[in-house]
Amino acid sequence: MSAQGLSVDIHARYFKHCLTMLPAQTAGLDATRMTLAHLCLAGLAALGRLDETVSKQEKKEMVEWIYAQQIPARRGNEAYRGFRGGSLFGPHEACENVAANSGNVAATYSALCALLMLGDDLARVDREAIVRALGCLQQESGSFIPHPGTTERDPRFIFCACAISYILDDWRGVDRLAASRYIGGCINFDGGMTQAPLHESHGGHLYCCVASLSLMGTLHKVVAVGDRSRMLRWAMLHQNGGYQGRTNKDPDVCYSFWIGASVEMLGGHALVNCDEVAAFIQSCEAPYGGVSKNPDTRPDPLHSALGIAGYGFCRPDELPRMAPELLLPESIVQSLRAARTTSAV
Amino acid sequence: MGESEKHSSDKDDYVPLKEQEEWRDVTPIPQEEEPNTVCPIAYTDEYSDMMSYLRAVMAKREVSQRALDLTGRVIEVNPGHYTVWMYRKQLVEELGTDSENELDWVAEISEIHHKNYQLWHYREALISRLLDQKTAEALTQDQLVRHPVIRRELLFATNAIDGDSKNFHAWSYRQWIVRTYGIWDQELVFVDTMINEDVRNNSAWNQRYFVLMGNGSGRPEKNPDSPLEDSLVDREIAYAVEKIKLAPNNESPWSYITGLLLRHAPARLYNTLLPKLQALAAEGSGYASSITTTPMYWSALVDIYEHQAKDLPDQASVLLDMAKDACDLLAFDHDPMRGKYWEFRKSQLCAGTTG
């Protein structure tokens, strides 16, 4: 463990390396390259090294790649619009079958964040199309599916839909009351939050639920004072060195962000044992760069970015501040907030 | 990330699809040339080849056995490809593929990719087609549990849980089966078995709450705040205390019983649970000394006294003092790592601000 804090240099190199090339064994992540891009850029931003690691020219090229993943209009593909997770679906012109070339709310969220971090003004984003697609993806229950045709529906995608709407400052694609109501049903008996009513409380879903409500402006409506107490209690009980994602599971670095950020949004920063959390994250730093889930595994972009962002909450004087409600620098979120014209629900 | 990947063919034996007679009529669609790539993956030739042909058959929505086989090979390497699952589902339906074989195939994929979300939903879709709710409604719980489709699915989920007792997807899947087909009774038995196997398995404890809230005997599912029958509450308190004795420092039964009572029978926190906990603490044998050193005990007392103070305002000040003392013990002796939290908790008691 370093007394000087995180090994910023080697982590910056790690993210640059991932942005540049990933090995063949990561083919399983081919449909989530947009998310990987977001994570690497966020990781660099969290280290305060984005501008010096990625040149202006490289940023321009990345922006081009991202826009190349925006699904163009085609007859019958309204629900498939937005950004796709990678170029694996093929050239847009070659896809007569609209279902074969689909956007995905997680990819759209990541694309917008990545564009913002790369300094893009989102001028080429087809906002109307995205908002319409979101409208097609919300379920009767208030939850969201990530793309047409699947039965996967849970707070991860509610969060993505809320993040997209917040960034675009356009909530026409999200019935906020319905989504808030669904999330309210995910408050569990033990104070935690779940993927669906009565499922097990989970740190990742705590984040998705709390962040969604924050973005929608309905946090205090849905989470009564008593619930907020119990939620903070759940979060604090799940800090054992690092944060555990569920009761009686081992600490995992990514929850430094999922739970750490939730605690920030719930106003519980002063309650956290920051030394312990920071120490755990540092114990997960890989000697050659990147941060791993725990001290016994290898690093990956997800655990690296989230570990570093989570570390930042605990050591606010060491690293630039990341926003808790979106995986973006606080400075960018402040600009979004200042520019908002939509009213609260 | 970190998952082992089984390659569907040995590299030396691999014959590119473009050299196979069977695929002669198909023009593969290469991935776009991307000079400006972000997080590019160094694809193997085999992967590139497979994907080029997949893109071709998906583009024209080809319905054929060769397309089905190809989706299987792609999913094996890249189960996160989020549109290929839907395409495979259509192929299975239109080709009339045998469901047993398809379920076997999903089971194989789940062995390689334990944490993949899509396969569980794919399986859910297959089962919904095999056994629709209307047919199921005509059967008793006993008949349903013995129905080959359901028996197979319960076994599938159980196997996944055997491999990873806290597999989030498997437990969620069980909730889906139980709720869809109304087989609540067997789930309580399963939960009990799993808790006996590992009293620290929080997924099992959560499932217990799920069953209690569920649709027993044809009643509608309970609301989050609905009261529970006295006999049920008695049973659950006794059950939780029994398990607490086995491992006093295990968070699960503590969260379970205090959470359940807070929601559905708050007066029982101090009427029934408290005396039992105090009895344990007074007993002076092995677990008694460990019970008063576990933070869970004192944390439970804080919640219990706080609630009791609300219900009995004339005793409130004494009760709140006891709760605050418990917070001090936690902050300084039993749970100092969470010291700041316990001081905050104490301040909530002073201000009466927990709502």
pLDDT digits 0-9 by tens, B150-196: 999 999 999 999 999 999 999 999 999 999 999 999 999 999 999 99
Q: Residue A240 phi/psi, 5° resolution?
A: -130, 85
What is the rounded distance in angstroms from the CA atom of residue B106 to the CA atom of residue B209?
A: 29
Closest CA to A147 of A160, A155, A137, A139: A137
Average pLDDT over residues B299-303: 97
pLDDT digits 0-9 by tens, B185-240: 999 999 999 999 999 999 999 999 999 998 654 445 666 667 788 999 999 999 99
What is the rounded distance in angstroms from the CA atom of residue A209 to the CA atom of residue A234?
A: 14
ipTM value of the model? 0.95
Q: Which residues contact B320 (CB under 8 A, 6 or more apart)?
A: B305, B306, B309, B349, B350
What is the rounded distance in angstroms from the CA atom of residue B291 to the CA atom of residue B122?
A: 46
Average pLDDT over residues B307-326: 96
Residues of A numbered 12-41 whose beta carbons fall under 8 angstroms of chain B's beta carbons: which are they?
18-33, 36-37, 40
What is the rounded distance in angstroms from the CA atom of residue B173 to the CA atom of residue B103?
A: 15
DSSP state of B220: P
* pLDDT mean for each 10 residues of chain A (345 residues): 79 98 95 98 98 96 96 96 96 90 97 98 98 98 96 95 98 98 96 96 98 97 93 96 96 98 97 97 97 97 98 96 97 94 74
What is the rounded distance in angstroms from the CA atom of residue A232 to the CA atom of residue A236?
A: 6
Inter-residue contact A111 to A324 (CB < 8 Å): no
Which residue blocks in A192-329 are alpha helix, DSSP H? Answer: 203-216, 219-222, 225-237, 255-265, 274-283, 301-314
How wide is the angle at C-alpha A308 spanned by C-alphas A305 and A314, nearest 5°?
Answer: 145
Is B256 within 8 Å of A249 when comparing Cβ atoms?
no
User: Is the minimum CB–CB distance between A300 and chain B shorter than 8 Å?
Assistant: yes
User: Is the predicted pLDDT of residue B296 greater than 90, yes or no?
Assistant: yes
pLDDT the model gives residue B227: 77
pLDDT the model gives residue B14: 77
pLDDT the model gives residue B347: 95
- What is the nearest CA distance from A40 to chain B, expressed in angstroms? 9
User: Is the predicted pLDDT of residue B80 greater than 70, yes or no?
Assistant: yes
Inter-residue contact A270 to A316 (CB < 8 Å): no
User: Is the minimum CB–CB distance between A333 and chain B shorter than 8 Å?
Assistant: no
Other Cβ atoms less than 10 A from the Cβ of B15: the count is 10
Closest CA to B56 of B46, B40, B67, B65: B67
User: Is the predicted pLDDT of residue B11 greater than 90, yes or no?
Assistant: no
CB-closest option in A25, A104, A225 to B82 = A104
Residue from B6, B41, B330 whose CB has the most chain A CBs within 10 Å, to mutate: B41
The DSSP code sequence of A263-280 is HHHTT-GGGS-HHHHHHH
Q: Two tokens at A135?
A: 């409208």
Q: What is the pTM of this model?
A: 0.95
pLDDT the model gives residue A186: 96
pLDDT digits 0-9 by tens, B270-280: 999 999 999 98
**3-class secondary structure, B267:** helix
Residues of B in contact with A197 (CB under 8 A): 224
* Per-residue pLDDT band at B7 (split at 50, 70, 90): very low
Other Cβ atoms less than 10 A from the Cβ of A282: the count is 18
Inter-residue contact B211 to B194 (CB < 8 Å): no
Is A199 within 8 Å of B250 when comparing Cβ atoms?
no
Residues of A in contact with B36 (CB under 8 A): 61-62, 64-65, 68
pLDDT the model gives residue B218: 42
Known active-site residue B18: no
DSSP state of A251: B
User: Is the predicted pLDDT of residue B286 greater than 70, yes or no?
Assistant: no
pLDDT the model gives residue B287: 54
User: Is the predicted pLDDT of residue B8 greater than 50, yes or no?
Assistant: no
pLDDT the model gives residue B2: 41
> Which residue is listed with tokens 């659950």?
B236
* Per-residue pLDDT band at B18 (split at 50, 70, 90): confident
pLDDT the model gives residue B5: 44
What is the rounded distance in angstroms from the CA atom of residue B231 to the CA atom of residue A331?
A: 56
* Residue of chain A whose alpha carbon sits nearest to that of B204: A200
**3-class secondary structure, B89:** helix
